């Protein structure tokens, strides 16, 4: 019954971090971003059922304090994604020798991307009350604000009206893709941070893995194709397709970054090389992420990191574990 007590506490803390965003301050916004972490911590450190209790309690608290729709939004966007990823992280089975074979990190990263896509799609439906035209208009308004900031009307960088409208439409259509990219990074960081906290308290059941060696299964590459195909449809199906493509794109970029960390271990000048890489990512405003994603994709499909100057053999793809 201990998982119930911890779940209630985590749910109330997570709900408080969520509703504090009503203060509309920078600190309130930062605290709001941390709302999934209590759910992740109790799910990883006690029992995944604690995460479910936290989700229910947090949702009910917000429903009473704000509105039933806000409570549902908390459950679908904050609580359940955190619980699901923690559940997968602790999934394992005994091998022929009795040792525990834990859920592969590569498959977990793929699920981070898929969970981010489902969450963004659900948030889109909820925020627009199921009306796609409302969602599109909201995305277009956000895109218009961005374009106005980048290309002010009365400046040398101003755009022709036709080109301006086309750019706004393009960015509005890419909103699910771009949003899910960011949310994939956030979920991956949250899961890593929560696992680190739980591991430091000696409550993490699985041993700490070597994150640098992460490699998604080849089915993740097929997921990109499926996402692109779905993106061609109108309505919220297209929104989910864009979100899935964006999530997996960023997941492959994270894998590409991990592969570089893996291949540079023990090499002279590693710290300077990695620092330069991160600086370039910031300077190019994410353009380098495209190259990292392509490298990560090739790494999954062809085992690229093991084909050049490595003594390792091409690893087998992670086994499929029942969820």
pLDDT tens-digit profile of 197-226?
999 988 998 898 888 889 999 999 999 999
How many secondary structure helices (H) and strands (E) does the chain include?
A: 13, 2
State the Cα angle at 117 between 62 and 76, rounded to 5°.
20
Answering whether pTM is above 0.85, one says yes
pLDDT at 129: 86
Q: Are residues 79 and 168 in the same domain?
A: no
Q: pLDDT of 126-160, one tens digit each?
A: 888 889 999 999 999 988 888 888 887 777 777 78
- Domain extent, residue 261, equals 106-323
The stretch 249-274 carries a mean pLDDT of 89
State the Cα angle at 47 between 14 and 252, rounded to 5°.
75
Domain boundary among 90, 124, 158: 90
Q: Are residues 276 and 231 in the same domain?
A: yes
The DSSP call for residue 117 is: H
Q: Are residues 7 and 145 in the same domain?
A: no
Q: Determine, yes or no, domain membership for 41.
A: yes
Q: Are residues 42 and 117 in the same domain?
A: no
Q: Are residues 73 and 177 in the same domain?
A: no
> Based on the structure, what is the number of domains in the chain?
2
Give 21's pLDDT tier (boundaries 50, 70, 90): confident
How would you class 27 by CB atoms within 10 Å of its CB: exposed for 0-12, middle for 13-18, buried for 19 or more? exposed
Q: Are residues 129 and 195 in the same domain?
A: yes
Q: Are residues 206 and 84 in the same domain?
A: no
Tell me the two tokens of residue 272.
């300077």
Q: Answer yes or no: are the C-beta atoms of 39 and 10 closer than 8 Å.
A: yes
Q: Are residues 41 and 67 in the same domain?
A: yes
Q: Are residues 253 and 194 in the same domain?
A: yes
Q: Are residues 317 and 238 in the same domain?
A: yes
Q: Are residues 212 and 264 in the same domain?
A: yes
How would you class 285 by CB atoms within 10 Å of its CB: exposed for 0-12, middle for 13-18, buried for 19 or more? exposed
- Across the chain, mean pLDDT equals 87
């Amino acid at each position: 019954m201990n998982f119930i007590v911890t779940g209630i506490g985590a749910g109330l803390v997570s709900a408080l971090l969520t509703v504090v965003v009503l203060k509309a301050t920078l600190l309130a916004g930062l605290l709001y971003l941390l709302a999934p972490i209590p759910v992740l911590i109790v799910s990883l450190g006690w029992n995944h059922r604690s995460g479910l209790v936290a989700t229910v309690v947090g949702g009910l608290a917000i429903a009473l304090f704000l509105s039933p729709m806000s409570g549902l939004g908390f459950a679908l966007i904050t609580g359940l994604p955190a619980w699901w990823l923690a559940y997968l992280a602790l999934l394992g089975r005994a091998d022929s020798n009795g040792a525990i074979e834990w859920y592969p990190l590569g498959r977990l990263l793929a699920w981070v991307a898929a969970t981010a896509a489902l969450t963004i799609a659900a948030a889109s439906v909820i925020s627009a009350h199921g009306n796609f035209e409302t969602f599109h208009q909201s995305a277009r308004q956000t895109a218009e604000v961005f374009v106005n900031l980048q290309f002010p009307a009365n400046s040398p960088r101003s755009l022709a009206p036709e080109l301006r409208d086309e750019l706004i439409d393009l960015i509005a259509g890419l909103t699910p893709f771009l949003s899910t990219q960011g949310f994939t990074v956030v979920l991956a960081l949250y899961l890593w941070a929560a696992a680190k906290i739980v591991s430091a308290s000696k409550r993490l059941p699985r041993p700490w893995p070597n994150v640098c060696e992460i490699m998604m299964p080849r089915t993740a590459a097929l997921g990109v194709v499926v996402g692109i195909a779905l993106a061609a449809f109108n309505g919220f199906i297209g929104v989910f397709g864009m979100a899935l493509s964006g999530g997996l794109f960023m997941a492959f970029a994270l894998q590409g970054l991990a592969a570089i960390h893996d291949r540079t271990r023990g090499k002279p000048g590693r710290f300077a090389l990695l620092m330069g890489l991160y600086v370039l990512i910031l300077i190019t405003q994410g353009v380098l992420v495209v190259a990292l994603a392509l490298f990560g994709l090739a790494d999954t499909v062809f085992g690229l990191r093991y084909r050049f100057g490595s003594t390792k053999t091409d690893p087998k793809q992670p086994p499929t574990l029942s969820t």
